[in-house]
Structure formats: C-alpha cells, structure tokens
Amino acid sequence: MKPGGGGGAAVPHFLSKVWALVEDPQTNEFICWSADGQSFNVLDEESFAKKILPKHFKHNNMASFVRQLNSYGFHKVIQYESGSAKQERYGSGKYQHPCFKKGQEELLSKIKRKVSNLSVCLQASFQAHSDLKGFMCPGAHQFFFPTILVSIIKGITSP
Amino acid sequence: MKPGGGGGAAVPHFLSKVWALVEDPQTNEFICWSADGQSFNVLDEESFAKKILPKHFKHNNMASFVRQLNSYGFHKVIQYESGSAKQERYGSGKYQHPCFKKGQEELLSKIKRKVSNLSVCLQASFQAHSDLKGFMCPGAHQFFFPTILVSIIKGITSP
Amino acid sequence: MKPGGGGGAAVPHFLSKVWALVEDPQTNEFICWSADGQSFNVLDEESFAKKILPKHFKHNNMASFVRQLNSYGFHKVIQYESGSAKQERYGSGKYQHPCFKKGQEELLSKIKRKVSNLSVCLQASFQAHSDLKGFMCPGAHQFFFPTILVSIIKGITSP
DNA sequence: GACGTTCTAGAATATTCGCAA
DNA sequence: CTTGCGAATATTCTAGAACGT
C-alpha cells in the first residue's frame, strides 16, 4: 500500500495516471506516445495543464507535473531542430524514462521515486548490509530485533 | 468466547457487524459489496457515519470506523478514475481484506486484530534492561526511539 | 519565504487560512472563536469539511484538516458535558494552540510545524552524544549516523 | 486482557517555490 | 536560459498510544 495521494498498488498513483493519459485516445490531442513509443509528448503544455491536469491531479500547473516526472526519473528529451525549417509547435515537450515504453506497462513497477536525503541515506547505507537478516521478535509480524538494539544502546551509552 | 464487547462467537463483534451491514439489503444505500465481491463500498461516508454507525457502534465517527478497519488489516482501495467518464460519488470509499469476500463468511474467523508491534515487542525486550534510562526523548512517555528503530530495521531486513 | 503550498510570508499558508476562516464572519456558522478566544470551534465538522474546506484547500476531508492541525501542534479540547443539561451540537470540535488566540495574530509566527520524529528524535537524542560527530551521511544536511549503527550491528551479529 | 473509541503521529506521495548545474 | 533538483509544506492512508469497558 502506498499512502500519500493514495496508492493502492505497487505502482504509484502518479505513474498510473500518466500511463493512462498517454494511452487514452481521448486525450491524445494533448498527450500521446511518440512515434517510436520510447517517450511521450505533451503537445500543448498550456492546454494540457489547464484542461487535463486538474481532472486527474490537485493542481493545474505544468511545473508541478514536470517536477513529478523528474522525481520519478523522467527526463525531457531535447529535440534538435534542424535548421529553421522545422516548425515546432510552441509549448510542446517530449519526456522519457527507460521503463516507460509503449506496450510495456509491466515495466512501470520498476520506476522508483527519488526521495530526499533522510530515508535515502538510511536505506542506501543499510542496503549494503543485507547480511543482517534473520532477526524475528516473537509475536511480531515483521522482522525485528529489539534485544540487539538494547545491546547497541548499551554499547553507546556506557562504553 | 471472545471477550471485549462480550461476543459469543469466535469472530469479534466488529467484524460480524461489518459483515452484517454489507450483507443487509436495507443498508445497501450506504454500504454494500463491490461489483466483484472482493471488497465493500461505503457510498457516502458522512451519511453512513451519522445514520448507520450509531445504530451499531458507540460512536458516529467515520475515523473510528476506519481505525477499526485498519486494525483488522483492511486496506482502502484507491479507485483510479479512467478518464473523465467515471462519475465517482462524492465521499465514497472502498475497503478490502483478503478474508472479507462475498459469500465466504467462514473466512471471517481468519481475520486477526493487529496488536501494536512496538509496545509489545520492545517493552518485553527492554524490561530486562532497566538500566537504559536516560534515553528519553523529551515528550515521550517511553524509551525514545521505537519507531525510528523499526524504520531502520525495516530498511535493513526488508530491502 | 515558505515553499510548499506556495507561501509568501513567514506564516505557512495553512495557519493563515485557518486564522482567516476563524475570523471571517461569513464562515462563523462553521468555524469561529470560542467564547474565551483561547481556541476555535468547528461547529459541524461534516458541513465544514464539504462546504468550506475545498474553497481553501485541495481537499474536502476533515481528517486531512485535523492532520494539519496536529502537525502544527494544535490539540483537540475535550469538552466536558456538565450533566445532561448541555446540548452539545453533534459533530462539533474545539481545537487549541497556545499561540492561536483571538486578537493576537502576531503569535502565529511562533507556531512551528512538527516534522517527523525521525529527525527530531535522532537529533535530540544524539546531540547529547557529541562525541559521535563525524558520522554524516554524504548528502545529508543533518545529524546522522547510519554507518555506526551498521558497524555496531555487524559487530554484534557476527562476533 | 482483548476489544472499542479517540486523539495524535508516522510514512509515503503530492504540490509548490526557488535555486543551481 | 533551461532543466532538474533541494526543501518545505500539503494530502492521504495507516499505525501508535492512552483510556475505558
């Protein structure tokens, strides 16, 4: 269960919604897959922000949408304009993530949200020590080992 | 015999009452099975709280009802609105438990109330170490960092 | 400047809005100062949640409003009903904070948002152990020492 | 002592603002 | 100048804790 904005699945709400929007033919005027299916396009950011976003999120700001994309590791694809011939539509944008590809919805679960320092550091620091498994507290539903921590605290406080 | 509320069955009163409410056709306007029978819906939480709850419990607060649901391991199901077609009713909610399914009342006895992991386990373990005082977090009534340690441990043990 | 919610003042948006709501005569039917000006009352929580909240916040849930109040250190005031004479309005609530008092708007800036115990307790507890400095997690801006705990745990688990 | 009710806090995601690479 | 990110607040779902029956 993913709280916060309300997750009910392994995939956060945000990702599910973006996927649905890109897939939905009714919104293809605003957001759709790119030609090669490796990224998605927002065709008119202003219209998309004002018309589509508030139906699915609690805001109507393109900047907030982009911030979320970045949080999940999406990157804007810089479209090189060959010469001046190309008339790019004003306000369009292309965004990409290696696990966000047309026809491969199962990859969504691999997209991880980047969080800021606290949890990241803790987890990052401890993940390198996966040899610490196997400490169940009797009665607990999860992995747990208070006794050991008592020893730790004692070690710290009365060295 | 299950104490607490003075039940006479193996299933706690709370679960029996929720089951009865979901089944009862007369209250289907407020609470009913979902279409697939895998969860139940509260259609209008405020009406449900004010009209139905006090008839069966000692309160009329949706929050207390939800707290009980969570205590028994129910989870809220996030309903994703695909597109704008779906007209979700205001203030509705869907709740689910793997042993709460339409037509399978016998599963109810498998639903267990969760006890507080923290106090139970930590206190048991720490009582043998009464020399650890002085690690009180100001404002805390107990040793100071149970939750955080749990977080750390969870990070270690369930990567 | 307080980011998040987009404040432009020293007082977070939430506090400013609550203050304005309590002061505003037009919303006194739903939220107003208590008689002594030491707290504020929400007279009908469900009406307040559905009618007032969405006009000022991005939600219409009383629970979210209460979560914010608690985050800022407000407490619910338990109203003792003297005998059976007092007819308390159904679904009302009184909330109080030592720096939220009628006529003293300047106190608002003293109300601080509580952050997750995680950092608070860690810092509070470990500041008394300044000999543990030097254990900064790279990228972290605060006191922190996962590495030491890992070392300790490893030392205990694999002696 | 397990269960029920209430108030508060934890934890993850969401939204906003501003800055810097 | 633009993209991406840090950090603070906001919203949601779940759990902790205290008290009562």
Q: At what angle do helices C146-157 and A117-127 cross, to 10 degrees?
A: 30
Q: Alpha helix locations (H) across A1-108?
A: 13-23, 45-47, 53-56, 62-71
Burial pattern A11-38, b for ≥16 Cβ within 10 A else e, equals: bbbbbbbbbbbbbbeebeebbbbeeeee
Mutate to test the interface with C, among A55, A60, A145, A152 (most CBs of C within 10 A): A152
Instruction: Decide: CB of B12 under 7 A of nucleic strand D.
Output: yes
d(CA B114, CA B86): 35
d(CA C18, CA C24): 10
C-beta of residue C16 within 8 angstroms of C-beta of residue C9: yes
Indicate the domain borders of chain B. Answer: 13-110, 117-157
Q: Which C residues between 34 and 63 have a beta carbon under 7 A from any strand D atom?
A: 58
For the stretch B33-77, pLDDT in tens is 999 999 999 999 999 999 999 999 999 999 999 999 999 999 999
**pLDDT at residue C138 above 60?**
no
Q: Which B residues between 131 and 150 have a beta carbon under 7 A from any strand E atom?
A: 141-142, 146-147, 150
Question: If you search the block for the tokens 């955080």, which residue do you land on?
Answer: B148
**pLDDT above 90: percentage of residues in chain C:** 55
Confidence of residue C24 (pLDDT cuts 50, 70, 90): very high
Q: At what angle do helices A146-157 and B146-157 cross, to 10 degrees?
A: 120
- CATH architecture classification, B13-110: Orthogonal Bundle (1.10)
d(CA C5, CA C88): 35
For the stretch A98-123, pLDDT in tens is 999 999 999 999 999 886 544 444 44
Task: Give the CB-side neighbour count of residue C2, counting CA atoms within 13 A.
Answer: 13
Residue in chain C lying closest to A146 (CA): C153
Taking contacts as CB-CB distances below 8 angstroms, the residues of chain B near C42 are: none
**pLDDT at residue A14 above 70?**
yes
Tokens of C102: 């009628």
Would you state the pLDDT for residue C75?
97
Instruction: Decide: CB of B124 under 7 A of nucleic strand E.
Output: no
Confidence of residue C4 (pLDDT cuts 50, 70, 90): low
Confidence of residue B92 (pLDDT cuts 50, 70, 90): confident
Would you state the pLDDT for residue B120?
47
Cβ pair C119:A121 closer than 8 A: no
Shortest CA to C1' contact from C77: nucleotide: D7
Residue of C152, A71, C59 whose CA lies nearest to B156: C152
Instruction: Decide: CB of B66 under 7 A of nucleic strand D.
Output: no
d(CA B78, CA A6): 6
Residue of C46, C51, C8, C6 whose CA lies nearest to C27: C51
Taking contacts as CB-CB distances below 8 angstroms, the residues of chain C near B151 are: 118
Q: Which of A55-64, A118-127, B1-10, C56-65 has the lowest mean pLDDT?
A: A118-127
Would you state the pLDDT for residue B154?
40
Would you state the pLDDT for residue C116?
59
d(CA C47, CA C45): 6
User: How distant is the Cα of A80 from the closest Cα of chain B, in angstroms?
Assistant: 33
**pLDDT above 70: percentage of residues in chain A:** 59
Q: Average pLDDT of B124-143?
A: 37
**pLDDT at residue B122 above 50?**
no
What is the DSSP code string of A137-155?
Answer: PTT-SSB--HHHHHHHHHH
Q: Which of A60-69, B122-131, C40-49 has the lowest mean pLDDT?
A: B122-131
Instruction: Decide: CB of C66 under 7 A of nucleic strand D.
Output: yes
Shortest CA to C1' contact from B69: nucleotide: E14
d(CA C55, CA B154): 40
Q: Taking all residues of chain A, what is their mean pLDDT, rounded to a whole number?
A: 73
Would you state the pLDDT for residue A150?
39
Would you state the pLDDT for residue A46?
93
Name the more confident of C74 and B124. C74
Q: Which A residues between 63 and 102 have a beta carbon under 7 A from any strand D atom?
A: 63-64, 67-68, 71
User: How distant is the Cα of B75 from the closest Cα of chain C, in angstroms?
Assistant: 17
Which segments of C10-153 are extended strands (E)? 31-33, 40-42, 75-76, 93-96
Taking contacts as CB-CB distances below 8 angstroms, the residues of chain B near C149 are: 152
d(CA A152, CA A142): 20
Instruction: Decide: CB of C7 under 7 A of nucleic strand E.
Output: yes
Residue of C45, C42, C47 whose CA lies nearest to C18: C42
Would you state the pLDDT for residue B114?
85
Tokens of C153: 């745990």
Taking contacts as CB-CB distances below 8 angstroms, the residues of chain C near A148 are: 153, 156-157
d(CA C62, CA C42): 10
**pLDDT at residue B96 above 50?**
yes
Cβ pair C124:B137 closer than 8 A: yes
Counting as contact any 3 or more CB pairs under 8 A, the partners of B are A, C
Q: Average pLDDT of C133-155?
A: 35
User: How distant is the Cα of C79 from the closest Cα of chain B, in angstroms?
Assistant: 16
Name the more confident of B27 and A140. B27
Q: Phi and psi at residue C152, in whole multiples of 5°?
A: -65, -50
Our measurement of CA A120 to C1' E13, in angstroms, reads: 21
The set of strand E positions with any atom below 7 Å of a protein CB reads 3-18, 20-21
Name the more confident of C29 and C82. C29
Instruction: Decide: CB of B50 under 7 A of nucleic strand E.
Output: no
d(CA B114, CA B21): 22
**pLDDT above 90: percentage of residues in chain A:** 53
d(CA B90, CA B43): 8
Q: Which C residues between 85 and 144 have a beta carbon under 7 A from any strand E atom?
A: 113, 115, 141
**pLDDT at residue C134 above 80?**
no
Name the more confident of C154 and A143. C154
Instruction: Decide: CB of B61 under 7 A of nucleic strand D.
Output: yes
Q: Which residues are CB-neighbours of A103 under 8 A, at least 6 positions away?
A: A37
Would you state the pLDDT for residue B48?
95
C-beta of residue A95 within 8 angstroms of C-beta of residue A40: yes
d(CA B40, CA B17): 13
Cβ pair B148:C50 closer than 8 A: no
Confidence of residue B88 (pLDDT cuts 50, 70, 90): low
For the stretch A36-47, pLDDT in tens is 999 999 999 999
CA distances from B144 to A23, A115, A118, B124, C122 (A): 49, 26, 19, 15, 9
C-beta of residue C69 within 8 angstroms of C-beta of residue C15: no
C-beta of residue C32 within 8 angstroms of C-beta of residue C40: yes
The set of strand D positions with any atom below 7 Å of a protein CB reads 1-18
Q: Average pLDDT of C45-73?
A: 96
Name the more confident of A91 and A85. A91
User: How distant is the Cα of C118 from the closest Cα of chain B, in angstroms?
Assistant: 6
